[in-house]
Amino acid sequence: MQKFNITRLLVMLFVLTLFAAGCAKKPVADDAAVTEQPTEVAVIEQQPAAVVEQQVDEAAAARRAAKAAASAAKRAANNLVRVYFDFDQYTLTASAKDQLMSNAMLLKSAPAVKIQIEGHCDERGSDEYNLALGEKRALATKNYLVSLGISANRMSVISYGEEVPLDSANTEAAWAKNRRAEFKAQR
Amino acid sequence: MNKIKFSLFFIVLCLLFSTPALAVKIEISAPGEQTIPLAITRLLPIEEPLQGLAEEFQQVLEADLDLSGLFAQVDPAAFLDDAAKLTLLSTMVDFAQWRMLGAEAVIKGGYRLQGEKLTIELRLYDVISRRLLTGRRYIGKMNDVRKIAHAFADQVLLGLTDELGPFSSRIAYISKRTGHKELYLMDVDGYKPQRLTDHRTIVLNPDFSPTRKEITFTSYKAGNPDLYRKEIYTGRESRLSLKQGLNIGGRYSPDGREVALTLSKDKNSELYLIGTDGTIHKRLTNHYGIDVDPSWSPEGTRIAFVSDRRGNPNVFIVDVHSLEVERLTFAGKYNATPAWSPKGKRIAFARLADRKFDIFSINADGSDERQLTFGAGSKEHPRWSPDGRFLVYSLDRDGEKSIWVMRADGTGARRISAAGAADSHPAWSGRW
């Protein structure tokens, strides 16, 4: 009996605290505060004491292999070289085409690798226009790789416009570095 | 939450008298050409004086009215004894004194603090006709002083020009102060900067809904440049357009029911109209060139945009119904970011020349092009105030990016964003 009363008192105190917390906020917040609090308490009560549970499965080896393949893919993608563009242009220069030729070779030797081609611009020009221009650069790069025999569904494109410069200096040299297409490995 | 509370407290009570015929009235389209000699007296205590209140109020009101370019302020050092008298009725004002000082209008006011409740009484008198032009009583709290000053500045402009000022509105912008580009909101004088997003990627190019307290912007949060919408007060956020490729440059139509934007889902950037549920209503352009940066005419029938379909980037206008396209800009080699004035006549844009942008404006029919900014640094992203009197823009100078406001004719430029931070891409809200 005595114990029951103490429990009741504790419950009432808890409810009162909830009320106090609820009243301090705006009425709109009340529902959330009242409904969230009790579930939290329940979770704590249900937690097992000092028993550690771990998932055991037989796919670990497969996962390790996949991870190794992914890092191999990443390594392959890291060897892909950037290509550069002229101001306000998305047509590939002769040297860009040469570089894409060697990139295509790398991609052929690692047929499992999927890549994302990022199009970038220098900071001159309007940001919106540069987002569109960056996409055209990435697409021109992808299309050339396709023409060299790389499957289109191994490659996705994204434009970062002028948002991710390699060199944030305000010089011709920096701008030339920033007008580029880059290659990232994808899982 | 607190904000809503403020607004409840912050009620404009009454227009004490109806506005009589004005002795002074000027053309709003030509700020700076003709100025009204205005005396702004210091707020006086109705009961107990409070430290600093009158000064803060004065500073905000003066800055707003100075930006308007409509007034020549009468030197307070020359004020006579009427300036020190609390005269909330026109019959009590010694207009002869103000006339002698050359003032054509005079602002007088008083304040009272009762518990938490702050009351500020404000009067704008016409010195020539000796009448009240605008009378306002504001009731709020101590931290509403700036808000009240902005609201009264709006009313002063209404009283003298028949067009409300824009000083109570807000400016959204992009700042990199956390290291990532995020969306922020501030007052039109740069006060109270407040971060609205925590995407930790790249957030770009905000625009206000004209009908709701809502902002649209582009973010890379989900790995693609998607268009988002965010309710300012609830913080509720959702993706409005998530097509493969670009979902950028979202601009609400003047009725708030559609959004014009650039999509590149078909491997080339084109302008589209989408509904507020994200469904595509209409494709506006069809050209292999780049089409970006839409800006609505105030009637919602035409859209200015940037295209390189004739070689270099230039501003074009597309008719939303017929889809006919006409070219707007011919001079210069690189014209971008058009912004159509809410008054309809002029279109502001940025032109790249000698490695930097400057801001220009041109009539919507292509006539009367004018350069508005000069000097060092690149000025971009012009956007109009809701009354069409001012332009907000970003300046990139010496590696520092900041936000500035100027009059529509290019005069009165001033920095509003805080020192140090990399702030850009402002958008001016409608009436708040």
* Chain segment B301-341, per-residue pLDDT in tens: 999 999 999 999 999 999 999 999 999 999 999 999 999 99
Token representation of residue B231: 């309710």
Spatial distance between the Cα atoms of B378 and A125, rounded to a whole number of angstroms: 10
Which residues in chain B have Cβ-Cβ distances shorter than 8 Å to A136? 268, 290
Q: Which of A29, A88, A127 sits opposite B204 (nearest CB)?
A: A127
* A81 and A37 inside one domain: no
Question: What domain count does chain A have?
Answer: 2
* A7 and A39 inside one domain: yes
Residue B226's pLDDT is: 98
* A163 and A94 inside one domain: yes
Task: Kindly determine whether residue B245 and residue A129, on different chains, have CB atoms separated by under 8 Å.
Answer: no
E strand or H helix that includes residue A31: helix A30-46
Task: Kindly determine whether residue A136 and residue B350, on different chains, have CB atoms separated by under 8 Å.
Answer: no
Which residues in chain B have Cβ-Cβ distances shorter than 8 Å to A163? 181, 202, 204
Phi, psi torsion values for A158, nearest 5 degrees: -145, 145
Is residue B274 within 8 A of residue B259, CB to CB? The reply is yes
* A89 and A6 inside one domain: no
Q: What DSSP line would sit under A37-106, residue for residue?
A: HHHHHHHHHHSPSS-------S-HHHHHHHHHHHHHHHHHHHTSPPEE--TT--SPPHHHHHHHHHHHHH
Residue B161's pLDDT is: 92
* % of chain B surpassing 70 pLDDT: 92
pLDDT exceeds cutoff 70 at B227: yes
Residue A142 inside a domain? The answer is yes
Q: Which residue has the tokens 């595509």?
A: B280
- Domains of chain B, earliest start first: 2-161 (3.40.50.10070), 170-428 (2.120.10.30)
Task: Kindly determine whether residue B202 and residue A88, on different chains, have CB atoms separated by under 8 Å.
Answer: no
Spatial distance between the Cα atoms of B219 and A134, rounded to a whole number of angstroms: 16
Residue A41's pLDDT is: 40
* A34 and A111 inside one domain: no
Residue A54 inside a domain? The answer is no
pLDDT in tens, B348-394: 999 999 889 999 999 999 999 999 999 999 999 999 999 999 999 99
Please give, rounded to a whole number of angstroms, the shortest distance from the CA of A8 to a CA of chain B.
35
Beta strands across the sheet bearing B194-195: B194-195, B182-187, B170-175, B423-428
What is the mean pLDDT of the segment spanning B113-124? Answer: 96
Q: Which of B1, B204, B248 sits opposite A26 (nearest CB)?
A: B1
Spatial distance between the Cα atoms of A144 and B426, rounded to a whole number of angstroms: 38
Q: How far is residue B397 from each of residues A113, B119, B327, B411, B428, measured CA to CA in Å?
A: 43, 43, 31, 19, 22
pLDDT in tens, A14-55: 555 555 444 444 444 344 443 444 434 444 444 545 666 767
* A72 and A152 inside one domain: yes
* A86 and A161 inside one domain: yes
Beta strands across the sheet bearing B226-231: B203-208, B214-219, B226-231, B237-241
Alpha helices of B78-118 — where are they, by DSSP H? 95-100
Best of A131, A142, A168 to substitute, by most chain B Cβ atoms within 10 angstroms, is A131
Residue A46's pLDDT is: 47
pLDDT in tens, B32-52: 458 999 999 999 999 999 999
Task: Kindly determine whether residue B290 and residue A170, on different chains, have CB atoms separated by under 8 Å.
Answer: no
Provide the domain limits for residue A91. 60-186
| ipTM value for the complex | 0.87
Residue B330's pLDDT is: 96
* A145 and A73 inside one domain: yes
Residues of chain A with pLDDT under 70: 1-52, 54, 56, 73, 187
Q: Enumerate chain B positions whose Cβ falls within 8 A of a Cβ in A.
A: 1, 4-5, 181, 202, 204-205, 220, 223-225, 245-246, 248-249, 262, 264, 267-269, 290-293, 306, 308, 312-313, 334, 336-337, 350, 352, 355, 357, 380, 399, 425
Q: Which residue has the tokens 């010195």?
A: B127
Beta-carbon-side half-sphere exposure of residue B314 (alpha carbons within 13 Å) = 18
pLDDT exceeds cutoff 50 at B22: no
Residue B333's pLDDT is: 94
Spatial distance between the Cα atoms of B146 and B152, rounded to a whole number of angstroms: 10
Spatial distance between the Cα atoms of B193 and A142, rounded to a whole number of angstroms: 42
Is residue A138 within 8 A of residue A117, CB to CB? The reply is yes
Residue A5's pLDDT is: 63
Which residues in chain A have Cβ-Cβ distances shorter than 8 Å to B293? 126, 128-129
The strand ranges marked E within B287-430 are: 291-296, 302-307, 314-319, 325-327, 335-340, 346-353, 356-363, 370-371, 378-384, 390-397, 400-407, 414-415, 423-428
Is residue B383 within 8 A of residue B393, CB to CB? The reply is yes
Confidence of residue B21 (pLDDT cuts 50, 70, 90): very low
* A182 and A134 inside one domain: yes
Is residue B156 within 8 A of residue B107, CB to CB? The reply is yes
Task: Kindly determine whether residue A126 and residue B225, on different chains, have CB atoms separated by under 8 Å.
Answer: no
Nearest to B380 by CA among B326, B323, B313: B313
Spatial distance between the Cα atoms of B58 and B107, rounded to a whole number of angstroms: 11
Q: What is the CATH number of the domain that holds A107?
A: 3.30.1330.60
* A102 and A36 inside one domain: no
State the CB neighbour count (10 A cutoff) for residue A109.
10
* A177 and A149 inside one domain: yes
Please give, rounded to a whole number of angstroms, the shortest distance from the CA of A32 to a CA of chain B.
14
Summary mean pLDDT of chain B: 92
E strand or H helix that includes residue A3: helix A2-24
Token representation of residue B202: 């790249």
Nearest to B135 by CA among B58, B20, B37, B24: B20
Is residue B362 within 8 A of residue B368, CB to CB? The reply is yes
Task: Kindly determine whether residue B313 and residue A135, on different chains, have CB atoms separated by under 8 Å.
Answer: no
Considering only alpha carbons, which residue of chain B is nearest residue A133? B290
* % of chain B surpassing 90 pLDDT: 90
Distance between alpha carbon B290 and the CA centroid of its chain, in Å? 29
Summary mean pLDDT of chain A: 79
Residue A105's pLDDT is: 93
Residue A8 inside a domain? The answer is yes
